[in-house]
Structure 1
């Protein structure tokens, strides 16, 4: 498993992003990892056109990650009879946002997207996560 610094000598590929996602997941606290249960992590170049249309998006660079599936609470209520939930990371959008920010490492960018999508699995909304991030920044 490779560890990356702020800048890469080449454009990161899908395998690079998968490695970074694996490293980010491994750094999460064990109870959080356990709570992820059956979540399957996937990396793709970009979201497919049908996914973009369903979300009301017009361009693949508008979507860095996606959670597909029921929240952990609904999965428990259905005794695991639902298909496994998926966290999708989209390379093109993540790399574009990383490059445009210029003040964050690629590893941190991947970790941020991964944790955000896992948050959806845990039943958190975008507003919930924005509030938690604001509280975390205020504590620093």
Structure 2
């Protein structure tokens, strides 16, 4: 306590009826001293409790600020997660579309290949009596690789 006057004011307001009965059997001077000592102890306890509550309040405020920060971070991560899900979905959709196009293209290429082999074999003279097949042998290329200059047998005669 800062001074005796403050202690006396606190003591006057903290004495209970039970305290009054106990103190009534003592001399006035002794009762005042004991009452004052009790009041000072109570005031010290209350002050200590106030300090602890104040510290606890600051701790709660700090934790509340941390919770708000984490909530904001969670909102940001949820937004980012949604964006990533959209990107993944769009990527999967585009890849599915491209795969479907490739399958269609492969099918068309296979049909064109079979038609070309059929036409090619129809125009070749058959040395054996076997009927031409629509498929090329596995180990032979369909066409010889094109050369840049015509061979001497194919070159036109000079005039």
TM-score, normalising length: structure 2: 0.21
- The structure with the largest helix share of the pair is 2
More strand by share: 1
